[in-house]
Amino acid sequence: MAVMDAPTTVDDRPGPTDTLGRAMRDLRISVTDRCNFRCTYCMPKEVFGADYAFLPRDQVLTFEEIERTARTFVSLGVEKLRITGGEPLVRRDLPHLIEMLAAIRRPDGGEIDLTLTTNGSALRALAGSLAAAGLQRVTVSLDSLDDAVFGAMNGIDFPVAKVLDGIDAAIEAGLAPVKVNMVVRRGVNESSLLPMAAWARETGVVLRCIEYMDVGHSNGWRLDEVVPAAEIVEAIAAIWPVEPAEPAYRGEVAGRWRYTDGGGEFGVISSVTQPFCRDCTRARISAEGMLYTCLFAVEGHDLRALLRSGASDADLGDAIETIWLRRGDRYSELRSQATSSLPRIEMFAMGG
């Protein structure tokens, strides 16, 4: 395997860069490992049943610990915070945490980009309070508009209508543009692709199609169930002509496509067939305070121990910077039989 090419552009803004020249600009923060869905590609119910033992409350980072950690990352160059889970909206008093995070400022005094990914099940109840607290946008996971197909994906037969109502609530609250993530799995929901694209064009949400990924060891991933990004684009373009669009920022994971008739855009996240490791600027904090430098990480780094041992902010920052400076992750570029047997962390445990 050849050495990965240099990043496509040079990021000369302040902050540490890893061994491959990638800066740390995005932090995904998991606020809980619990979820009310049992999606087959993340937390299949056959493995994560009613008796599954999630983290005890005292092992989950407090809001104060999350805020301190996020503030330290921002001081090192992070510009975007995304709240994840599990399902983040099951974390009690989440708007209070959003308010704490929204008050963080970058070293230059600018605001951070504060977003959240959710399954949408509780958005009708919480969208208004989240927006009032300072949340800027949401991304909602929705794999089909057909109840039977969606139930086959989410594992609990949760109705599509309730997710759509949550999306409406987010739009009403000003959490727009709403992005919708659709994991496309061959033999399960690829027939839902065009109806989802048509609905997104009509409503103004931004559809992002995600190749089915081999995250963790519980989802039974097989390469022949991956619908490649090129096939997804070809299927949509056959109905509505499209043209490629430039990335909105360095490190954007979705390849962007624009409808030539002015009907908006969609994105495709192609971790399997067109890896984007070379521009990855993401770090991840799990609910119990482990720092992961790759979605396919073999191991994490315990920040909770530092937070609870009396370490200073400077100590915490030095530890994070050292970890990032040594980072060399590029799993998706190396994906092969050699990597298939490596231990990996389940997606719900590190925040996806």
Whole-number average pLDDT of the chain? 89
Give the pLDDT mean for 88-107.
98
Q: With cut-offs at 50, 70 and 90, classify the pLDDT of residue 214.
A: low
Is 320 strand, coil or helix? helix
In tens, the pLDDT along 14-65 reads 889 999 999 999 999 999 999 988 888 778 888 888 888 899 999 999 999 9
| 99-108, 117-126, 159-168, 336-345: least confident range | 336-345
36 in a domain, yes or no? yes
Q: With cut-offs at 50, 70 and 90, classify the pLDDT of residue 346.
A: low
Q: With cut-offs at 50, 70 and 90, classify the pLDDT of residue 107.
A: very high
Estimate the crossing angle of helix 123-133 against helix 160-172, to 10 degrees.
20
What is the model's pLDDT at position 282? 93
13 in a domain, yes or no? no
pLDDT higher than threshold 60 for residue 208: yes
6 in a domain, yes or no? no
CB 332 within 8 A of CB 279: no
What is the model's pLDDT at position 5? 45
pLDDT higher than threshold 70 for residue 335: no
**234: Cβ–Cβ under 8 A, 6 or more apart, which residues?**
none
How far apart CA 256 and CA 115 sit, in angstroms, is: 19
pTM of the predicted model, to two decimals? 0.89
What is the model's pLDDT at position 38? 85
Least Cα distance to 167 among 189, 182, 155 occurs for 182
How far apart CA 50 and CA 292 sit, in angstroms, is: 27
CATH number (domain holding residue 272): 3.20.20.70
In tens, the pLDDT along 109-154 reads 999 999 999 999 999 999 999 999 999 999 999 999 999 999 998 8
How far apart CA 135 and CA 130 sit, in angstroms, is: 6
11 in a domain, yes or no? no
Q: Where are the beta strands (DSSP E) in the chain?
A: 26-30, 80-84, 113-118, 137-141, 179-184, 206-211, 242-245, 255-259, 265-269, 282-285, 290-292, 301-302
Domain that holds residue 237: 27-350
306 in a domain, yes or no? yes
In tens, the pLDDT along 264-274 reads 999 999 888 77
Q: What percent of the chain has pLDDT over 90?
A: 69
pLDDT higher than threshold 60 for residue 206: yes
In tens, the pLDDT along 153-194 reads 888 989 999 999 999 999 999 999 999 999 999 998 999 999
* DSSP secondary structure letters along 80-121: EEEEESS-GGGSTTHHHHHHHHHT-B-TTSPBPEEEEEE-ST
78 in a domain, yes or no? yes
User: CA–CA distance from 164 to each of 77, 98, 110, 121, 141 (Å)?
Assistant: 35, 23, 33, 9, 11
What is the model's pLDDT at position 10? 58
Is 276 strand, coil or helix? coil
**166: Cβ–Cβ under 8 A, 6 or more apart, which residues?**
118, 120, 121, 122, 123, 124, 127, 140
What is the model's pLDDT at position 119? 95
Q: With cut-offs at 50, 70 and 90, classify the pLDDT of residue 278.
A: confident
204 in a domain, yes or no? yes
Give how many domains the chain has, as a whole number.
1
8 in a domain, yes or no? no
